[in-house]
A = this chain, B = another copy of it.
Amino acid sequence: MKIGISQLNFHIGNFNENLTSVAFEIKKAQQFNLDLLICSELAICGYPPLDLLEYKSFIDLCTEALERLAKICTDIGVLIGAPTLNPESTGKKLFNSAYFLADGQIRQVFHKTLLPTYDIFDEYRYFEPNREFKLLKYKDRKLAVTICEDLWYEQPFEADLSNKRLYTINPMDELIKEGPEIIINLAASPFSYTKIDVKQNIFLENARKYNLPVIYVNQVGGQTELIFEGGSLALNRKGVIVKELACFREDSAIIDLDSLLYDQMEPVETKPKDPSAMIYQALRFGLRDYFNKSGFRKAVIGLSGGIDSAVTMVIAADALGPENVHALLLSSTFTSEDSVNDAIKLAENKSVEYDILNIEKLFRQVKDTLQPLFKDLPEDIAEENIQSRIRSLLLMAYSNKFRHLLLNTSNKSEAAVGYGTLYGDMAGGLSVLGDVYKTDVYRLARHINRNKAVIPENIITRAPSAELKPDQKDTDSLPEYDVLDQILFQYIENRKSEKEIGKMINDPVLASKIIQRVNRNEYKRYQAPPILRISSKSFGSGRRMPIAAKY
């Protein structure tokens, strides 16, 4: 049996486009005389469709699309993800299903058993879990069809409160009783730089535990915050990877099932992946796909001479082409000459066009306008925020006038402690670095500069500053970033307590101060742009905190 795997990039709700690309793959598969083609989870509508699933009309479009696809599956079998209406009189309205299309019709349906409902996942919001276990029997072969999380029963994380299994049933333990010859997994598993090895290990362990080969077909593409890296795999029964699809682009492969079953496929040499390189590729890909899918071609960015906007600009220029990026340098009296020169040099290094505007007169006019109210009160954070908001006002004006999407340049460390101005530097249509801690932003800069100094060395080595008052430095109000990021990582990613972190860094006062700042600034993050997610715990829909709480 010849099996094709198609790792495609779907546009949520864009049924025509999704259908066309699947139909194209089927046609190709038919030309190669494949027996079976496998697509990813909820491929029909794209993952995650979120509350669009609550619209009957949306489900109807999924069903129609499936039926149209089934018609062309005359001499081939296709496994493809789609939602199913739950026919029972009780339970959630839908199943998250894998459809088997063959002989021009829908032949069989398999439902997902384990419904991730944590972090960015909300599957129990929509889906009823499967309770019936059966194999796909096709051309004298028996295949165990699983959907994404179904193979994650033994997942090693999300275990911060105890060392327990998240689910009470292991679908593969049920399916194995029916004597399958191979495990198929239709997935929509998003990228996280902490999860690269974890993912491969999950499949390795399933292969070994059940003594079966595994074929894993993942979705690829950016879906607003989420980046699906693809990286689909085939492993033999020893857990050795024998086929690996590309990361961050569409890809496909043909697998001869007999070769896979009888261990006749060569191991793939998998190189250890450099996290900075992976993060860089993920961000570039996520950015590009957000533009593609939301119909934007061009980006505008405020270039300050600091490292965050520098890295953001480089990623944007690589993602969209430098001709599609415009930089605005918005200087004030507090902007050092170095900052301007470095920003210019950076833009020129990347062939990005830029304009320089001085915000000084505007800043004075704002202060004049407010004079009747502010009178002779001393300048404070209000005036700092005014400058930041003047910049975003100009950037958004450019964005609106020329239809460039404003890229946000805040990093995760700032976002965590609220070191940023709401509607000021926190503005933008998409946050590129909002899930990257400041110390990792430096690593990205080093990665960008690995062959040549694209980002002027000065930008990397100069002490970080918001340049909103004379001689300001980030360290005036924050600890050194390596200490800060350690506290933040332990609190946000690892859910450690104030007390534990205080011990860990040997400074309970600092730990407490930082954690309180994180908690106090939920209100700011609530209004932040969508953030490209690259970690296991990003701000945004994966981290839901009460605002008016005291903790």
Range, interface on chain A: 35 or more
Task: Output the least CB separation between A131 and chain B (Å).
Answer: 9
Task: Output the least CB separation between A206 and chain B (Å).
Answer: 18
A523-B294, A528-B527, A550-B11 as given contacts; A393 in contact with B366, CB under 8 Å:
yes
A56 lies within 8 A of chain B by Cβ: yes
A420 lies within 8 A of chain B by Cβ: no
CB <8 Å contact, A546 and B13? yes
CB <8 Å contact, B498 and A12? no
Contacts of A67-105 to chain B: CB distance below 8 A: 85-86, 88-94
CB <8 Å contact, B548 and A290? yes
With beta carbons under 8 angstroms apart, the residue of B51, B290, B369 that contacts A394 is B369
Residues of B within 8 A of A374 (CB): 397, 401
A390 lies within 8 A of chain B by Cβ: yes
CB <8 Å contact, B12 and A549? yes
Quick check: which of A117-125, A256-264, A312-320, A341-349 contacts chain B, the rest being far away?
A117-125
Give CA–CA (A70, B28) in the complex, Å: 69
With beta carbons under 8 angstroms apart, the residue of B46, B91, B400 that contacts A167 is B91
Contacts of A154-206 to chain B: CB distance below 8 A: 160-162, 164-168
A381 lies within 8 A of chain B by Cβ: yes
Q: Tell me the nearest residue of chain B to A17, going by C-beta.
A: B550
A380 lies within 8 A of chain B by Cβ: yes
CB <8 Å contact, B398 and A546? no
Give CA–CA (A118, B369) in the complex, Å: 47
Give CA–CA (A543, B51) in the complex, Å: 7
Give CA–CA (A66, B489) in the complex, Å: 30
A52 lies within 8 A of chain B by Cβ: yes
A338 lies within 8 A of chain B by Cβ: no
5 A-B pairs with least C-beta separation: A13-B551, A57-B497, A382-B400, A293-B548, A12-B549
